[in-house]
């Protein structure tokens, strides 16, 4: 089945759900000016076609003990398929790492790490990242203030 191009109502549905995925179908329908039944069908189609990957709650990191955010630039020892895959597999199972991007430039990966405090990050660096033999070097950047944090992506079609 080929994916249909999104129309204005589909785009409105995506934007509304990105802002508040907890909306009922009735509330969503009112916001996109459509009746509930077609709104529900459109939402299900957007899920089936992969436009909506999942629904989740955004947890306040500070409320659950994560006081600092660190962005780490990682350089691998070498660019072999084995080491790259080893690193990518390892980060999947490390709960402190919430985001990981393969990048171009001076570093191979950028990871986002949450830690309770500096001491906890130091322990994480020594006992987790420091034990990964595929890592050649890393550069840590500490976030001193969060200006914008949104999980919403621009819907431009």
Asked whether the domain spanning 62-142 has the same topology as the one spanning 8-48, the reply is no
How high is the pLDDT of residue 1? 39
Average pLDDT over residues 106-121: 98
- Whole-prediction pTM: 0.85
Token pair of 59 as six digits: 């947890």
What percentage of the chain has pLDDT greater than the value 90?
91
**Would you say the C-alpha torsion 73, 78, 80, 82 has a positive or negative sign?**
negative
Ordered by start, the domain boundaries in the chain are 8-48, 62-142
Pairing label, strands 97-102, 68-76: unpaired
Tokens coding 31 = 């916001």
Considering the domain 62-142 in this protein, what is its CATH number? 3.30.70.920
* H/E stretch holding 21: none
For residue 77, give the DSSP letter.
S
| 10-67 per-position pLDDT tens digit | 999 999 999 999 999 999 999 999 999 999 999 999 999 999 999 999 999 999 999 9
Given CATH 1.10.10.10, say whether it is the number of domain 8-48.
yes
Average of per-residue pLDDT across 83-88: 96
**Separation CA 87–CA 20 (nearest Å):** 34
């Amino acid at each position: 089945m080929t994916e249909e191009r999104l129309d204005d109502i589909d785009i409105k549905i995506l934007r509304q759900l990105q802002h508040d995925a907890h909306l009922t179908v009735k509330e969503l329908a009112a916001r996109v000016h459509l009746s509930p039944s077609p709104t529900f069908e459109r939402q299900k189609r957007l899920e089936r076609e992969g436009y909506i990957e999942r629904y989740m709650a955004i947890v306040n990191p500070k409320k659950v003990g994560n006081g600092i955010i660190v962005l780490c630039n990682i350089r691998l020892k070498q660019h072999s398929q084995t080491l790259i895959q080893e690193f990518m597999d390892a980060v999947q199972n490390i709960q402190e790492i919430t985001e990981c991007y393969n990048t171009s430039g001076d570093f191979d990966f950028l990871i986002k790490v949450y830690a309770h405090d500096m001491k906890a990050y130091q322990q994480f660096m020594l006992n987790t990242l420091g034990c990964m033999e595929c890592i050649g070097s890393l550069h840590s950047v500490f976030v001193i203030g969060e200006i914008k944090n949104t999980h919403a992506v621009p819907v431009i079609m």
